[in-house]
Structure 1
């Protein structure tokens, strides 16, 4: 796991900037119509939530996957915007659940506008994202999209059942992260391909790619929660432990620990998790049993599988250029520091 500051490859960085600019232009144009006649406060909150930073990874994936399958037009950026609307809706609702005060170094919607307004704005973004997916990707696209959003909710419930439970397994962990994160990433790739009229083989290949990088992204997030910098990630380091989440580095340590250290880990998880000393002791035990190294190896394997899934695509021409960008994005996930 690399912790020094890293940057995406030049080609990916330039493409991301270009795609982000087009998606944000599409969002601003769309919102002018979509928010017409709505209460001004809703418009203010929606704009604040959407244009306050963010990686725009989901729209980027939608665009690249559609381009791989031969379509790149104005409607593609509207489709990509729908995924950003949903993503931001989930962040707004997450901040309500967590009672979070800040996100990306600025006040959250709930901190700035209150509980009721935050929930309602998140609801509006979710509803509008569904409208756009149905309009642009048809019934099949909306079905994939709704399955992914329902999966996100179920994943949250599944995770609640595992809080502080050292009997949780790696299989349960991957079931949770695929429901919470992977299925939505998978849907961006699948719907991007569907939008472009791709055949089933290519849609399946890109869906598999999305599944693997979604899982890898979450594993790296787990590592950054322990090894990252709060300044770079914009998140409190050790927050997963405070919340009692059994993430992959901890699960690997639990699997390898002797009886005494396993007992200690159990005490740390069921005791006062806000203590600084408890966190330090946990990090020491995870490191002793190579939990960080083995989780990083799992992330590398997932990225390798994602890249392998792109084998059905050509390596030359415009298709090849976009496949190369998808590969760069997968590899960048391993090196990211925020």
Structure 2
């Protein structure tokens, strides 16, 4: 079985790729359609509908329609066109593609509605690569959408599929130990054997470490107190990496400390002060469990609201203040809004 890497970082089994290959095999080596219109009419479409077909009739037949006169059993014989008819009938059930007639080029084309960039691909030998890529992307999108709709597995992948940075280590395991890669792969699919994840038996769902009522993955990663010793190193690893990336001309960098000249006890993770420009930038980190997109939006809004009074105090002193929140999921998801922080 062949595999195709999706935007979620996971390899997608191309169980439908044989359909694509059948279409390409049947049509990529055919001469222009005009030379075969008579043959197609006499051999396939005309035999099916018992009349001379129009261009629209040909595209309807090729798209696998079984309605009306196209659904009658006429003992059709095997040919390139019948193979394409059957192939498109199977593909249409999965990705909604169909044949269409291009008036501009007077050729048959394949319309793939799920791909926004290339809606219509003209079937010619020159378009074979584009057709294959377009159909593969459509099948990949279909797998991803099905995955995101799942109540458990979709929680993580709805967030990770939005930015390639969230999955850079999954295809080849770069910068990741195998034990960590194996855990993240199973955790994103919610396949860790926790009491709260097992639903087919009536068993005790309490946390085995702290006694919380429901031992779920978000609880273990972000809320279970016996695991709290791992939270600080995880937080500091991100903290130190961003601090090293700040160029000196931006200003003086203070880490995890209160801002001098204010009565606030808040301690932003990173404060960059530029006295010459009277500018202060505050950056605070958080690592929520990626329970779909609203979890990231809520975490960012809470951080911005938290430092609102402090920013108001600094603006009263004549500073230009910027508040930033760096959001990274507990399983490696990267929020696209972070690009404004690191740029």
TM-score category (smaller protein): under 0.3
Which structure has more relative contact order (CA 8 Å, sep 6+)? It is: 1
More helix by percentage = 1
More strand by percentage = 2
| Normalised TM-score (structure 2) | 0.23
Which structure has the bigger radius of gyration?
2
| Normalised TM-score (structure 1) | 0.23
